[in-house]
Amino acid sequence: MQYAENILGTIGNTPMVKMNALVKDVPALVLAKYETFNPGNSVKDRMALQMIEDAEADGRLQPGGTIIEGTSGNTGMGLALAAIIKGYKMVCVISDKQSKEKMDILRAVGSEVIVCPTDVDPDDPRSYYSTSARLAKETPNSWYVNQYDNPSNAKAHYQSTGPEIWEQTDGKVTHFVVGVGTGGTISGVGKYLKEQNPNVKIWGVDTYGSVFKKYHETGVFDDNEIYSYITEGIGEDILPKNVDFSIIDGFTKVTDKDAAVYTRRLAKEEGMFLGNSAGSAIKGLLQLNAEGKFGPDDVVVVLFHDHGSRYVGKMFNDDWMKEQGFLEKEIHKAIDLIQEHIDKPLITVKTEELVSHAIRRMRKFKISQIPVEDAKGFVGSVDEADLLKAFAENKDIEKSPIKEVMGKPYPVVKKDTPIAEVTKLISNDTDAVLIDLGDGKHHIITKYDMIGAI
């Protein structure tokens, strides 16, 4: 009979899968190291077990102890599985940008989950780095994993992932592409592959808002590079000790939008239901290909970290994608610009109404422009900037009729007017355009609507 003694025995030996649809324009053979086949559905199972075993061996982790770690979710899952089998308590400190699914899964396997704000400096006491370290000091018989600086992280990939890739490609691998977060995967795999063949190229995929690419190219840690980003699992605002920049041949940066879009494309075009960092990885590979990095004799291995089930409320949710502006909208005509609020009535003001009436409507409906009408139709317009200027010149202006402060009427277009024509009408002097919906009904297209269509 063939069976594992427990779930930890199923970690590693993940399959290599040839990619097809998304890489049809890549001259090389592209293979995906498919890490979701690990029991915790991510590559992090490998180093989680290695870190625990090394901590047990040297006495840092004692029987019945508590494991504490700051995690984006996947390392926490790997640690939690090992904690269950080995009899430890598990505390996961996670940032609030991580998916709800990750938090729910960690709780499902018995972990205590503490959520910290994302948009704080690493040394801020509220950050998940600082919170993890503090809890480790306060909790008796505990061990702070610190995957970022823990050498067992890279060691796990040097001993398992790297050798597997070399064996599965029969030593023919020429390029390795992977997203970089803690740095353990790229450094461990990269070290092993370069020891077998120094000509193997190691490419890191970074995200905008992270410091890796610029630091690798210039040696400068630029605080201006750091800002909030959506992509999960890769990029950092610190330099983890596990990132061995000497092994990495170069980085490419992938936007949040491309990462999300390509995560969905992997599922729909390759049948690969993967996590957010996989979208970054394959898009990064395509960017490297566009730079001419790959040739017809090359074998390119891209590593996919985790499973798509942890992102069903984000990248695989159309509403979330729309909120982020990541779903491409079919916008060709004027009517397409107002689909999200076409059901709302057009707010107007009469020529004889007071300026104060217009101000109240702007406040109530949170709008900046209002068409002015009389019995004949639209005869003018008022804008919040114009009203502010008029009020600065005359504090009693709010008692004046709108006709004394109104500007020229907004242009009126038909609902099937091409977007290009609408764009020409909106300028510094014209803040909005009215759209004729028929049957005497009109709506308004503002600069905000135009920006939303970009």
User: Measuring CA to CA, how many Å separate 183 from each of 12, 45, 53, 324, 409?
Assistant: 18, 15, 20, 28, 59
Q: Of 202, 236, 206, 232, which Cα lies nearest the Cα of 221?
A: 236
Q: Of 216, 322, 210, which Cα lies nearest the Cα of 261?
A: 322
Active-site annotation holder among 18, 33, 44, 403 = 44
44 catalytic residue (yes or no):
yes
Beta pairing, strands 29-34 & 16-18: antiparallel
Token match 């609030």: residue? 96
Beta strands in 96-174 (DSSP E): 112-116, 142-144
Q: Of 45, 66, 32, which Cα lies nearest the Cα of 272?
A: 32
Beta pairing, strands 369-374 & 377-383: antiparallel
Nearest 5°: phi and psi at 114? -115, 125
DSSP symbols for 234-274: S--SS--TT--TTT--EEEEE-HHHHHHHHHHHHHHH---B
β-sheet with 89-95: strand ranges across? 112-116, 89-95, 66-71, 142-144
Token match 């590979």: residue? 285
| CB crowding 82-102: b at 16 or more within 10 Å, else e | bbbebebbbbbbbbebbbebb
Residues serving a catalytic function are: 44
